[in-house]
Amino acid sequence: MTMNEVYPTGYGTWHWVVGSFNGKITLLGPFNTDDDARSSGLEKFDHIIDIHKLPTRDESKATRMVKALMLREKGYSAEEALSKMHHTIMEGSKVPMDNEL
């Protein structure tokens, strides 16, 4: 399942780049076009992992969307992914909303 199947493209869609920089996975965006996202990602990151089209410009929402998809890709169900994200927040760990995934 891809991010675009979960969050369909259309009006109000923004492009977000997931890449690695100094060993950290980071989210960069929003961008108006895929080309803008790709060129900025190539300048900023050591490696571009993916570019996602999301229905938000809000960095916190985009981070949560991408993190949920990454957990789903690791085999967690939607409920498990949500529980895992909620558990991290409730434990007082650093909340993954600071552009870090």
Specify the pLDDT at position 11.
Answer: 59
Which one is predicted more confidently, 81 or 31? 31
- Give residue-wise pLDDT tens across range 34-65: 999 999 999 999 999 999 999 999 999 999 88
Cα 57 off chain centre by: 12
Structural domain contains residue 59: yes
Structural domain contains residue 45: yes
Confidence label for 5 from pLDDT (cuts 50, 70 and 90): low
Determine the average pLDDT of the residues in 8-26.
Answer: 83
Q: Which residues on neighbouring strands pair with residue 15, listed in sequence order?
A: 31, 53
Structural domain contains residue 65: yes
Structural domain contains residue 79: yes
Q: Residue 8 sits in which domain range?
A: 3-90
Say which range, 1-10, 22-31, 87-96, has the weakest mean pLDDT.
87-96
Structural domain contains residue 100: no
Structural domain contains residue 96: no
Q: What is the domain count for the chain?
A: 1
Structural domain contains residue 82: yes
SS3 state of residue 38:
helix
